[in-house]
Structure 1
Amino acid sequence: MVLETDSPDMAPAMFPGQRNSPAHLPAICAALAELMNITPEQLAAASTANCCEVFGW
Protein backbone atom coordinates (compact mmCIF):
# COMPACT_ATOMS: atom_id res chain seq x y z
CA MET A 1 0.00 0.00 0.00
CA VAL A 2 1.17 3.51 -0.82
CA LEU A 3 -0.68 6.61 0.35
CA GLU A 4 -1.01 9.19 -2.39
CA THR A 5 -3.39 11.84 -3.64
CA ASP A 6 -5.21 12.53 -6.91
CA SER A 7 -4.63 16.20 -6.22
CA PRO A 8 -6.31 18.41 -7.23
CA ASP A 9 -9.01 16.02 -8.48
CA MET A 10 -11.26 13.70 -6.45
CA ALA A 11 -11.23 15.11 -2.92
CA PRO A 12 -11.91 12.47 -0.25
CA ALA A 13 -15.42 12.19 1.18
CA MET A 14 -14.22 13.61 4.51
CA PHE A 15 -13.51 16.91 2.72
CA PRO A 16 -16.72 17.56 0.75
CA GLY A 17 -16.69 20.51 -1.60
CA GLN A 18 -12.96 21.08 -1.16
CA ARG A 19 -10.20 20.79 -3.67
CA ASN A 20 -7.98 17.79 -3.00
CA SER A 21 -4.56 18.47 -1.59
CA PRO A 22 -1.56 16.52 -0.26
CA ALA A 23 -2.32 18.30 3.02
CA HIS A 24 -5.23 15.84 3.41
CA LEU A 25 -2.92 12.82 3.59
CA PRO A 26 -2.46 12.88 7.39
CA ALA A 27 -6.24 12.69 7.92
CA ILE A 28 -6.55 9.91 5.34
CA CYS A 29 -3.65 8.05 6.96
CA ALA A 30 -5.26 8.36 10.39
CA ALA A 31 -8.65 7.12 9.15
CA LEU A 32 -7.12 4.17 7.30
CA ALA A 33 -4.86 3.27 10.22
CA GLU A 34 -7.88 3.19 12.51
CA LEU A 35 -9.62 0.76 10.16
CA MET A 36 -6.47 -1.38 10.11
CA ASN A 37 -6.07 -1.24 13.92
CA ILE A 38 -2.56 0.19 13.69
CA THR A 39 -1.12 3.60 14.49
CA PRO A 40 -0.92 6.32 11.84
CA GLU A 41 2.85 6.27 12.37
CA GLN A 42 3.01 2.56 11.52
CA LEU A 43 0.97 3.09 8.37
CA ALA A 44 3.04 6.10 7.33
CA ALA A 45 6.27 4.14 7.82
CA ALA A 46 4.94 1.19 5.81
CA SER A 47 3.72 3.48 3.03
CA THR A 48 7.07 5.24 2.87
CA ALA A 49 8.95 1.92 2.75
CA ASN A 50 6.66 0.62 0.01
CA CYS A 51 7.09 3.80 -2.03
CA CYS A 52 10.86 3.55 -1.73
CA GLU A 53 10.74 -0.07 -2.88
CA VAL A 54 8.44 0.66 -5.83
CA PHE A 55 10.57 3.56 -7.06
CA GLY A 56 13.96 2.07 -6.14
CA TRP A 57 14.93 4.86 -3.74
Structure 2
Amino acid sequence: MFTGLAEGWLAPSGCSPTADDIADHLAEVTATDPFTIPGSIYDEVFGFCARLGIAAG
Protein backbone atom coordinates (compact mmCIF):
# COMPACT_ATOMS: atom_id res chain seq x y z
CA MET A 1 0.00 0.00 0.00
CA PHE A 2 1.20 3.53 -0.74
CA THR A 3 -0.13 7.05 -1.10
CA GLY A 4 -0.02 8.45 -4.60
CA LEU A 5 -1.44 11.53 -6.30
CA ALA A 6 -3.06 11.26 -9.70
CA GLU A 7 -4.52 13.96 -11.95
CA GLY A 8 -8.15 13.00 -11.37
CA TRP A 9 -10.89 15.41 -12.43
CA LEU A 10 -11.81 18.86 -11.17
CA ALA A 11 -15.23 20.45 -11.54
CA PRO A 12 -15.16 23.90 -13.12
CA SER A 13 -14.16 26.65 -10.69
CA GLY A 14 -17.03 27.84 -8.53
CA CYS A 15 -19.25 24.84 -9.31
CA SER A 16 -20.22 22.00 -7.02
CA PRO A 17 -20.18 18.73 -8.95
CA THR A 18 -23.35 16.69 -9.09
CA ALA A 19 -23.54 12.91 -8.96
CA ASP A 20 -24.10 12.99 -12.74
CA ASP A 21 -20.95 15.11 -13.24
CA ILE A 22 -18.92 12.59 -11.27
CA ALA A 23 -20.49 9.68 -13.17
CA ASP A 24 -19.66 11.41 -16.47
CA HIS A 25 -16.01 11.74 -15.38
CA LEU A 26 -15.68 8.51 -13.38
CA ALA A 27 -12.80 7.20 -15.49
CA GLU A 28 -10.80 10.35 -14.71
CA VAL A 29 -11.82 10.32 -11.03
CA THR A 30 -10.67 6.74 -10.53
CA ALA A 31 -7.60 6.76 -12.82
CA THR A 32 -4.41 5.87 -10.98
CA ASP A 33 -1.94 6.39 -13.81
CA PRO A 34 0.08 8.53 -14.07
CA PHE A 35 0.75 9.28 -10.44
CA THR A 36 3.37 10.81 -8.19
CA ILE A 37 4.35 9.72 -4.71
CA PRO A 38 4.61 12.67 -2.33
CA GLY A 39 7.64 12.67 -0.07
CA SER A 40 5.72 14.28 2.79
CA ILE A 41 2.34 15.70 3.74
CA TYR A 42 3.67 19.08 2.61
CA ASP A 43 4.41 17.73 -0.86
CA GLU A 44 0.89 16.29 -0.96
CA VAL A 45 -0.72 19.62 0.05
CA PHE A 46 1.48 21.58 -2.39
CA GLY A 47 0.45 19.13 -5.12
CA PHE A 48 -3.22 19.76 -4.41
CA CYS A 49 -2.65 23.51 -4.31
CA ALA A 50 -0.81 23.45 -7.63
CA ARG A 51 -3.63 21.43 -9.22
CA LEU A 52 -6.16 23.96 -7.94
CA GLY A 53 -4.07 26.94 -8.99
CA ILE A 54 -3.55 28.09 -5.39
CA ALA A 55 -0.21 29.53 -4.34
CA ALA A 56 1.11 27.51 -1.41
CA GLY A 57 3.72 28.54 1.05
Shorter-chain TM-score: which interval? 0.3 to 0.5
Higher strand fraction: Structure 1 or Structure 2?
2
Larger radius of gyration: 2
The normalised TM-score by structure 1 is 0.34
Higher helix fraction: Structure 1 or Structure 2?
1
Whose RCO is larger (CA < 8 A, sep 6+)? 2
The normalised TM-score by structure 2 is 0.34
